[in-house]
Structure 1
Amino acid sequence: MKRVSVDIGGTFTDCFVVWDGQYIETKALTTHHNLAQGFNEALGKSSKALGITLEEILAQVDSVRYATTLGTNALIEHKGPKIGLLITAGYEATVPISRARGYGEGLDVLGQTDLPNAARPEPLVLPHMIRGVRERIDFVGDIIMPLDEDDLRQQIRELVDEGAQILVVATLNSVVNPIHEQRIEEILLEEYPSHLLGAIPVILSHRVAGRKGEYVRATSAIVDGYLHSTMYHALSTLEQNLRAHDYTNPMLVIHNSGGMAQLNSTDALQTIHSGPVSGIAASEHLALQTELGNVVATDMGGTSYDIGIVVEGGVKHYDFNPVIDRWLVSVPMVHLVTLGSGGGSIATYDRMYNTVKCGPESAGSDPGPACYDRGGMRPTTTDADLVLGYLDPDNYAGGSIPLNKRRALNVIEDTLCEDLDCEPIEAALLIREKVDSDMANGLFTELRARGYDPKDFTMLAYGGNGPLHCCGIAQNLSIDKILAPPFSSVFSAVGAGNIHQLHIHEKSLYMVLYDSNNLNLLEDYKTFNDIVDELKERGTQDLIRQGIAREDIQHRLELDMRYGNQLVQTTATIEKHHLQRPADVLKVIEQFSIDYGKRFGEGSQAPEAGIRINTIRVAAYVEHQTVQFKNIKPLPENQRQDPPAPESTRRCYFVGHKGAVETPVWSRSNLTPGTQIQGPAIITSEVTTFLVNPGWTFVTAEQGASWFLRTPFTH
């Protein structure tokens, strides 16, 4: 297997190359003005390690896969085109009103408790750019009012005259019957053909989101339209760069659903959070192959700290109505929590509590932390780590980024020390303590909110800064075992290389599976089977269009179900995809009851209220060859070996310990599997730094994996 996978983050571009059994991990700074430059630099390092040219790599690999946070960053920065929205007449206020609570979406718990004072997000589509379309389709798909085409043409002209750069169409009940949205697209092309208007994109909401709910479907289409141009031009640049270097296969893009597809089969909305989702996919794969049980995936990069949960058996959590930035959307996305804590998180003085505040603002890769010597003027987490002695200024990122310790000391002293009335070392310790505490709180909240006990989980620490901060985070929790997985600094890129091609299609409906009033089971098997077959075929055609043979395509059927009129829906995965007899219906009900009981407690089921299906969802996918992880469990204590003599020592400062501690330093490449090191200790590599806090033991394992195990402090 020969494969290149890339995770383009806000600070670093991570690259993972699989080359006939060789695994090579490299990093380069992300070049936001042209993503191809950062990609070429990272891949160029891999080509040097292999002793061949970049062109030779791209000419021989079976695929190049991209995961990126570009769309996420573009949405946060609020840099997008002027959008025109066409919506059913009478519902023009749907998006601005946002269900009278939309301004609470995306806020933290404290912000949501004070909604009257919550700041509304800047709208992605301005109120004067919304036009009503005279048409109406009811909830079963019957046309109540035909489309008024003359009025529609007038509305389109007005939006174009107002400067609309992209048109979004979101009519009521279009997921049941899309005929009017399709006709609106035809009329737009009739009025403004490409040779007259240019390539103005048109986004139809039923193609973006397949579930009912006019508000979330409209916001999904708006967010997709808002990111369309940014993602198209950025990813097209990457694809053109591949062509210029002799790569001839289609470029593949990771989706936030946990799958991937070719660029021409990817919506901009599907790329949001695709980098962190790749890390969760890698965590799932690792947990299944090595039987780790419950794992909580934590990815600390330069900009953010991402948290995902994979329970035993490899089951991921999904959000079917996730909040992206400040917008509720209707697309199935692997659940994750993102905190504004990373190596580039900027530290400021918190006057209210007379301490430091870290993030969510980040220095990114340009200018980066002050110690990068690229113009950064404010202290960051990385500056504090350098001042505390954890980082080697001459060999950071394999020596490609020399660090200026004096500059880090100066910005901490100039920015924080006067207000805090302390020395730079004390201020750096406060930064370190605050960052680790924020991440621990986010991790604890996520696990507890879903009913899990942190001590039942193995914490996976990856990303460029994960192994550097993991002990400090775990010390605030009941977690006593941490795994820095194989290739931890580029683990999300590893996940991008393991993800399968997948498309998800879904359809909203009102289908009563069990009528408790009449004590009847569903008998209309044909309607159910026809919808499943339709969704299967749509997914199959998506993959066939990308060159996949029909016989290689597999399908997974999921049903969103509820008891009676409960607001809470539970997703059940159904093994049999067609209903043919009452026993099949009863099997579906049984699976739903089992899943509901697991989520809300056995005995909470309420079949006496009736059982409904609200959404039918089909995932069409094809499995590819993946990276194989070895047995990475730590050896029993009596089989471990002592380390060689340390290569050097470094004066380090640790939270909760007075004064400097003379800390031994080893190179990770010189440690064989089964080596045990008592903390405090530092283990360096070209792509990350492993910091073993006092009270922890570091144990090496196969394939470059490393364990941190909580032990009594013996220093």
Structure 2
Amino acid sequence: MKRIAVDIGGTFTDCFVCWGGRFIQSKALTTHQNLALGFNEALDEACAELNVDRRTVLSEVDSVRYATTLGTNALIERSGPRVGLLITQGFDSTVPLSRGRGYADGLPYSEARDLTRARRPEPLVSIPLIRHVRERVDYKGDVVMPLDEEATRRAIRELVDAGAQAIVVALVNSTDNPAHELRVLELFLQEYPAQMLGAVPMILSHQVVGRKGEYVRATSAIIDAMLHSTMYFAMTSLEQNLRDNGYSKPMLLVHNSGGMAQLNSTDALQTVHSGPVAGIHAAETLGQQGSVGNIICGDMGGTSFDIGIVAEGGHKHYDFNPVVDRWLVSVPMVHLVTLGAGGGSIARYDTVFQALQVGPQSAGSDPGPACYDRGGLKPTVTDADLLLGYLDPANYANGRIKLNVRRTKQALEEICDTLDCDAIEAARRIKLLADASMAAGLVRELNQRGYKPDNFVFLAYGGNGPLHACGIAAQGGFDRVLAPPYSSVFSASGGAGLNQMHIHEKNTTLAFYHKLLQTVFSDFPTFNAIVEELEDRGRRDLLRQGVRAEDVEHRLELDMRYGMQRMEIALVAPKLRIESQTDVLDMIQIMNDEFARRFGADTVSPESGIWVTAVRVVSFVRSDALRFDNMLPPARKLATPAPVTTRQCHFPGHDGAMETPVYDGAALEPGVVIEGPAIVNPGATTYLVEPGWRFESAAQGAVWFIKNA
């Protein structure tokens, strides 16, 4: 297996190269002005370790896979084009009203508790850029009112004249009959052909989302339109960089659904949060192969802390109506919670609450933390880690970034004056607050899903995960933490094992058991026709990308609920077709068992009716996956190697400095046990073993942090 997987984050660009039996991890600062520069730098570092030049590597790999937060950042910064909206007459206010509760979506927990003070987000589409068209399709897909084509042409011209740089068409019930949306596109191309200089893209909502719900379908298409040009130009420049360096195959983009596809088969919305999702996929693979049990993922990078859950056996959670930034959308996305807590999170004193705050603002890669000595003036979590003695100023990020302690002290002066403490105490408080914020996020996520922390292993990865693992675990109530193999670029390594995949779904209302009629579903042709249509769409998506028809596989999933409940769950069907009522009863039993397992036996109520609300087909082509050995610490223990040096370190809850041994990569030999406090720095990342914890090495460079009894 020869391939390259890249995760372009807000601070670092992570690169993972599979070269035969070797797996190389490397990093470079993200170059936001030209993403290709950071990619080339990270790849060159990996090539130097392989002793192979960049062109040779790119000409021989089978694929290059990109995951990026570019779309996420563009949405947060509102740096996309001005978007115009065409919607069915009478529904003009659907997006501005946002179901009357748009001010609540995407708020952090602390603000969501007091919605009276919540502020609505800045609209993605301003009211002057909304136009209606006269048409109507009913819920069955029948045309009630034909499209008024002349009025539609006028509306299109008005949007273009008003400065719309992208146009979204979101007509009512277009998921049941898209004829009017398709006709609007034809009229638009007649007026403004695609070959015109400065042509405006048009996004049809039914092609972005296959579910009912005018508001979430419209917001999904609007976000896709906002990110379209940003992603197109950035990704095509990356693809051109690959061409210039000898790579001739199509570039693959990681999707937030847990799959990937070529650039020409990717909606911009599908790239949001794709980097952290690749990490959750790697955790799923590790959970299936490594005998770890229940996993909660904590990806601590330079900008954010991303949380995901993988239940025992390697089953990750999905959101089918996730919130992106402040907007509810309707695309299948691996469940993910993002906190503004990372190594670059800025510490400040909040004069309103008269308390120290850490994040969500980040120093990013440019200028970066003050200690990077690149012009940053504000203290960050990384600055605190440096001052507490955890980081080696001369050997940070494999020695490529030299850290300046004097800059850190200067950046902390204002906080020290306000809190009336020295720099060490300020740094200790910053670390404690950052760890507490991330621990609270982990526990809150588990509690909301009915889990307990002591039943889960905390999987700590990302550039800063192993550095803060013990501190987060101590405050979250976790007794065991696993820093996985390739922990500093774990999300990038997840991209190396993804399958090419597309998900298509359709809203429906099918009574598998009708309470009033007391009948079991029997209209098998209707159900199977829906599945066949979705399979065909997924197959055509993959065939368009050059895969062989015989390699395409499908998985059928159903969203189901009981008649007396609104809560739906997604279930994998054992068969792709329903051929008898026995198949229906088998599916009902699967639903009953899953409800009982997740929510308790009292929630199981098939007598109230059982409804299928959505049919989903996952079409994919299997790819070679990374292999993980048994991750448990080996029974045979090795002698602790001699430390290479010692360092004075400061820990929360302990007065004064503690003499802390520092170990190199020899400590990663499976079976090595080290009692804290200790630091292990093999070069790629730093493992901090706090007092009261011990370090145990496992296979493939994995590390356990275990709390002493």
State the TM-score, normalized to the length of structure 1.
Answer: 0.98
Mapped to 2, the partners of 1:194 and 1:398 lie a distance apart of: 48
Residue 518 of structure 2 corresponds to: 519
Mapped to 2, the partners of 1:166 and 1:283 lie a distance apart of: 38
Moved more, 511-520 or 373-382: 511-520
User: Aligned pair 1:378/2:375, yes or no?
Assistant: no
Mapped to 2, the partners of 1:363 and 1:137 lie a distance apart of: 49
Shift of 1:409: 1.1
| 3-state secondary structure, aligned to 1:230 | helix
- Equivalent positions of 1:164-313 (< 5 A) are 164-196=164-196, 198-313=198-313
Mapped to 1, the partners of 2:557 and 2:485 lie a distance apart of: 33
Shift of 1:275: 0.3
Mapped to 2, the partners of 1:521 and 1:336 lie a distance apart of: 36
- Equivalent positions of 1:428-467 (< 5 A) are 428-467=427-466
Amino acid at match of 1:506: E
Mapped to 1, the partners of 2:391 and 2:115 lie a distance apart of: 43
Residue 484 of structure 1 corresponds to: 483
Moved more, 74-83 or 361-370: 74-83
User: Residue deviations 1:586-640, cap 9 Å, x none?
Assistant: 122222222222222113222222221111000001111122122231023xx31
Mapped to 2, the partners of 1:476 and 1:116 lie a distance apart of: 31
Residue 682 of structure 1 corresponds to: 679
Mapped to 2, the partners of 1:50 and 1:571 lie a distance apart of: 44
User: Residue deviations 1:574-593, cap 9 Å, x none?
Assistant: 11121222212212222222
Indicate conservation of the 8 Å contact 2:671/2:697, yes or no: yes
Shift of 1:354: 4.1
Indicate conservation of the 8 Å contact 1:642/1:677, yes or no: no
User: Residue deviations 1:484-524, cap 9 Å, x none?
Assistant: 11010000000000111110000011222221111112221
Moved more, 356-365 or 115-124: 115-124
Residue 80 of structure 1 corresponds to: 80
Mapped to 1, the partners of 2:181 and 2:564 lie a distance apart of: 30
Residue 409 of structure 2 corresponds to: 409
Mapped to 1, the partners of 2:379 and 2:196 lie a distance apart of: 52
Residue 653 of structure 2 corresponds to: 656
Indicate conservation of the 8 Å contact 2:11/2:302, yes or no: yes
Mapped to 2, the partners of 1:565 and 1:644 lie a distance apart of: 62
- Equivalent positions of 1:606-617 (< 5 A) are 606-617=605-616
Residue 396 of structure 1 corresponds to: 396
User: Residue deviations 1:180-224, cap 9 Å, x none?
Assistant: 001100110011113446432110000101000000000000000
Mapped to 2, the partners of 1:86 and 1:520 lie a distance apart of: 42
- How many residue pairs are counted as aligned between the two chains? 709
Shift of 1:238: 0.5
Shift of 1:356: 1.4
Indicate conservation of the 8 Å contact 1:649/1:664, yes or no: yes
Residue 535 of structure 1 corresponds to: 534
Shift of 1:368: 0.1
Residue 672 of structure 1 corresponds to: 669
User: Aligned pair 1:692/2:689, yes or no?
Assistant: yes
Mapped to 2, the partners of 1:35 and 1:91 lie a distance apart of: 40
| 3-state secondary structure, aligned to 2:475 | coil
Indicate conservation of the 8 Å contact 1:486/1:705, yes or no: yes
Mapped to 1, the partners of 2:468 and 2:512 lie a distance apart of: 50
- Which among 704, 707, 713 is matched to residue 704 of structure 2? 707
| 3-state secondary structure, aligned to 1:359 | strand
Shift of 1:114: 2.7
Moved more, 346-355 or 581-590: 346-355
Mapped to 2, the partners of 1:328 and 1:463 lie a distance apart of: 27
Residue 346 of structure 1 corresponds to: 346
Amino acid at match of 2:363: A
Q: Which runs of 5+ in 2 are unaligned?
A: none
Shift of 1:111: 2.0
Mapped to 2, the partners of 1:697 and 1:60 lie a distance apart of: 42
- Equivalent positions of 1:156-167 (< 5 A) are 156-167=156-167
User: Aligned pair 1:418/2:417, yes or no?
Assistant: yes
Shift of 1:681: 0.3
Shift of 1:435: 0.2
User: Residue deviations 1:633-672, cap 9 Å, x none?
Assistant: 1023xx3122222110000000000000010001124542
Structure 1 residues 199 and 476: CA distance shift in structure 2, 3 A: same
- Which among 636, 640, 650 is matched to residue 637 of structure 2? 640
User: Residue deviations 1:408-451, cap 9 Å, x none?
Assistant: 011112x2011101001000000000000000111110111111
Indicate conservation of the 8 Å contact 2:450/2:599, yes or no: no
Structure 1 residues 351 and 198: CA distance shift in structure 2, 3 A: closer
User: Residue deviations 1:521-570, cap 9 Å, x none?
Assistant: 22211110000001011111111111111111111111111222632112
User: Residue deviations 1:321-340, cap 9 Å, x none?
Assistant: 00000000000100011110
Mapped to 2, the partners of 1:310 and 1:68 lie a distance apart of: 22
Residue 99 of structure 2 corresponds to: 99
Indicate conservation of the 8 Å contact 2:668/2:703, yes or no: no
| 3-state secondary structure, aligned to 1:131 | strand
Residue 567 of structure 1 corresponds to: 566
Residue 500 of structure 2 corresponds to: 501
Indicate conservation of the 8 Å contact 2:640/2:667, yes or no: no
Structure 1 residues 188 and 666: CA distance shift in structure 2, 3 A: same
Amino acid at match of 1:710: K
| 3-state secondary structure, aligned to 1:398 | coil
Q: Using the aligned pairs only, state the percent identity.
A: 58
Mapped to 2, the partners of 1:566 and 1:459 lie a distance apart of: 33
| 3-state secondary structure, aligned to 2:426 | helix
User: Residue deviations 1:451-489, cap 9 Å, x none?
Assistant: 111111111111000000000001112211111110100
Mapped to 2, the partners of 1:299 and 1:541 lie a distance apart of: 35
| 3-state secondary structure, aligned to 1:154 | helix
User: Residue deviations 1:275-317, cap 9 Å, x none?
Assistant: 0000000000011111111011110000000111101011110
Mapped to 2, the partners of 1:641 and 1:531 lie a distance apart of: 59
Mapped to 1, the partners of 2:72 and 2:674 lie a distance apart of: 40
Residue 590 of structure 1 corresponds to: 589
Amino acid at match of 2:101: R
| 3-state secondary structure, aligned to 1:399 | coil
Moved more, 455-464 or 586-595: 586-595
Mapped to 2, the partners of 1:310 and 1:158 lie a distance apart of: 49
User: Residue deviations 1:260-285, cap 9 Å, x none?
Assistant: 00111000000000000000000000
Amino acid at match of 1:305: F
Mapped to 1, the partners of 2:302 and 2:424 lie a distance apart of: 22
User: Aligned pair 1:551/2:567, yes or no?
Assistant: no
Indicate conservation of the 8 Å contact 1:354/1:420, yes or no: no
Mapped to 2, the partners of 1:108 and 1:462 lie a distance apart of: 23
Indicate conservation of the 8 Å contact 2:461/2:488, yes or no: yes
Indicate conservation of the 8 Å contact 1:99/1:215, yes or no: yes
Shift of 1:352: 5.0
Indicate conservation of the 8 Å contact 2:291/2:630, yes or no: no
State the TM-score, normalized to the length of structure 2.
Answer: 0.99
Moved more, 607-616 or 139-148: 607-616
Mapped to 2, the partners of 1:701 and 1:585 lie a distance apart of: 46
Mapped to 2, the partners of 1:148 and 1:566 lie a distance apart of: 40
| 3-state secondary structure, aligned to 1:105 | coil
Indicate conservation of the 8 Å contact 1:81/1:226, yes or no: yes
Residue 46 of structure 1 corresponds to: 46
Mapped to 1, the partners of 2:671 and 2:278 lie a distance apart of: 29
Mapped to 2, the partners of 1:300 and 1:338 lie a distance apart of: 10
